[in-house]
Amino acid sequence: MKKIWAKRLAAALLAGGTLMTMAPGAEAADIRILPVDTARFWAGSRFDFDVEVSKAQNLQDVQIQVNGKDAGTFFGKKLERKDLGNGVTSFRANQVSFPKSGNYQITVTAKDTSGNTSSKAGYTVVHEVAPKQAKNVILFVGDGMSLPAYNGTMN
C-alpha cells in the first residue's frame, strides 16, 4: 500500500496535478473460505462451513456455490449472515457434510461498489475402506497359571 501511495504521489507531482488525484483507489474485497483450500474429508463427516468477506465497500451481494449449485440448497441449511463488527461479514453453516466421495469446488463472488471479487476452494471427499480384518482370533490370557497349566498350553 505504501509503494502505491508513493508512486501516485510522484506521478501526480510530475504531471503537475493536485493532491486530490493521489487519493488511493477502492480496494477489492477479500474473501476467505473455511475450511481451507485442498482440505480432505471423509464422506458424511460433519464440519463447519464459513465464508468471510472483508474490506468490502458497501457489500451488496454474495453468491456462494458448491459445484455450481447454491450452497444453502446443497447443504440443506441456510447460511447465516453475521456482521462480526470489524469490517468482516460472515456467512456460516454449522454441521454440514459432503454426502458422496469426489471433488467439490466452492466458488464465492462478492459484489460491492468497487465491483465483483471471486475466490475458489477445492475439496476432496474420500470414502475410506478399512483393510480386511483377521477372523477367528483366539486370545488366551493366562495370568497366575501354574507351571503344569502353562506347559500344557504350549503343546
Q: Per-domain residue ranges for the chain?
A: 27-130
Q: How far is CA 32 from CA 67, 103, 110, 128, 148, in A?
A: 18, 19, 11, 29, 70
Question: What are 122's three cell numbers?
Answer: 477445492
CATH superfamily of 27-130: Immunoglobulins (2.60.40.10)
- Of residues 89 and 147, more confidently modeled: 89
Nearest-5° Cα angle at 76, 129 to 107: 80
Q: What is the pLDDT of residues 126-153, one digit of tens each?
A: 987 777 777 887 777 767 777 887 777 7
> Rounded to an integer, what distance in angstroms lies between the CA atom of residue 144 and that of residue 31?
66
Q: What is the pLDDT of residues 16-74, one digit of tens each?
A: 544 444 445 557 789 999 999 999 999 999 999 999 999 888 899 999 999 999 999 99
